[in-house]
Amino acid sequence: AAILGSTLTGEFEDVKLLNDLLSKKNKKTGWDTPIHVDAASGGFVAPFIWPDLEWDFRLPLVKSINVSGHKYGLVYAGVGWVVWRTKEDLPDELIFHINYLGSDQPTFTLNFSKGSSQIISQYYQFIRLGFEGYKRVMENCLENARVLREGLEKTGRFDIVSKDKGVPLVAFSLKDSSKHTVFEIAESLRRFGWIIPAYTMPANAQHIAVLRVVVREDFNRSLAERLVSHIEQVLKETDSLPSRVAVQASHIVTVDETQDNMDGKKTVKKSSREIQEEVTLYWRRLASEKITGAC
């Protein structure tokens, strides 16, 4: 499985490289391993912005693709598809046969009764916007993401983690989180009405904590500039506050190895990186406990 638009950073995985490597592996082993592309977000972005990017059925091993209309398909939540290259690529185990409507009907879904409003809405968007309309919307989203990214870079306080080629989003981390964390920034931004998730990266990169802003068609340039202004204000206010990281770390012994102290008692020593990871996880748990409602 390959992901076209990572949830964490919006990055497109190299589906063509995976196809080439897997082709060699299949030839060597005699296997017939196919590829599924999770294009939930990127499937409505890549075709309009990077039409020459090979990630779909142009690659012979790609047998199925899923995409969500409620992300960049510009439809409210509840609609999405999975598409197979051919009927033969669809496993029989996924097909349900029903006959209570008078004849045998195959279906892929578990929801036998569901409203059609999302389908009608998606159909309307396709007819109304067409290829050129979706292209202009996606170009505008990427442009607004660029404005936000450049505004954050000008503060000199953040590293941009997301890539230029990917879903229109900006993921960024603090260059210096020794005094304050991204969780504090996310918490402070809520008073301005911004709900921006702060989270740690997956295993082997969990010491990196980031903020993420997903740019949709209703996030215009003025909102991007306003967000940068509010982030600058929060940074200024946070700098004037006592370091929460230092307060948390003061309860943790900070030498590199275990040794006897003056009282003859053993103390466990932790590295600065271990301390930073503990502090980051502490603020992550604290932030999750304060989350109310849905974002």
Per-residue confidence band for 178, with pLDDT thresholds at 50, 70 and 90: confident
Q: What is the pLDDT of residues 29-55, one digit of tens each?
A: 999 999 999 999 999 999 999 999 999
Structurally, how many domains does the chain consist of?
2
Same-domain pairing of 11 and 79: yes
How many Å separate Cα 291 from the centre of its chain? 18
CA–CA gap between residue 37 and residue 54 (Å, rounded): 12
Instruction: Give me the mean pLDDT over the 155-164 stretch.
Output: 95
Residues 10 and 64 in one domain: yes
CATH number of the domain enclosing 53: 3.40.640.10
3-state secondary structure of 80: strand
Q: Are residues 164 and 240 in the same domain?
A: yes
**Nearest CA among 33, 26, 90 for reference residue 64:** 90
Whole-angstrom distance, CA of residue 250 vs CA of residue 272: 12
- Which of 37-41, 114-118, 222-226 comes out lowest in average pLDDT? 114-118
Residues 112 and 17 in one domain: yes
**Of 20-34, 65-79, 128-142, minimum mean pLDDT range:** 65-79
Tally of residues, the chain: 295
Q: What is the DSSP string of 92-139?
A: GGG-EEE-TTSS-EEE--S-SS---HHHHHHHHHHHHHHHHHHHHHHH
Q: Which domain holds residue 130?
A: 2-135
The answer to whether residue 292 is domain-embedded is no
Residue 22 lies in a domain: yes
Read off the pTM. 0.78
**pLDDT over threshold 80, residue 277:** no
Residue 172 has pLDDT above 70, yes or no: yes
Look at residue 254 in the predicted model and tell me its pLDDT.
46
Distance CA 9, CA 162 (A): 5
**Within a domain: residue 256?**
no
**How would residue 255 be classed by pLDDT, with cut points 50, 70 and 90?**
very low
Question: Does residue 202 sit in the same domain as residue 89?
Answer: no
Q: What is the largest CA-CA distance in the chain?
A: 86
Residue with the larger pLDDT of the pair 240 and 258: 240
Per-residue model confidence as pLDDT tens digits over 134-150: 999 999 999 999 999 99
CA gap 152, 159 in Å, rounded? 9
> Using the 8-state DSSP alphabet, how is residue 212 labeled?
E
Domain-embedded: residue 144? no
| pLDDT at residue 288, as a whole number | 61
Question: Between 170 and 164, whose confidence is greater?
Answer: 170
Q: Which residue has the tokens 């589906």?
A: 15
Question: Read out DSSP for 55-77?
Answer: -STTSTTEEEEEEETTTSS---S
Confidence grade of residue 206 (pLDDT, cut at 50, 70, 90): confident
Classify residue 205: in a domain, yes or no.
yes
Q: Which is more confidently placed, 68 or 291?
A: 68
pLDDT score of 181: 93
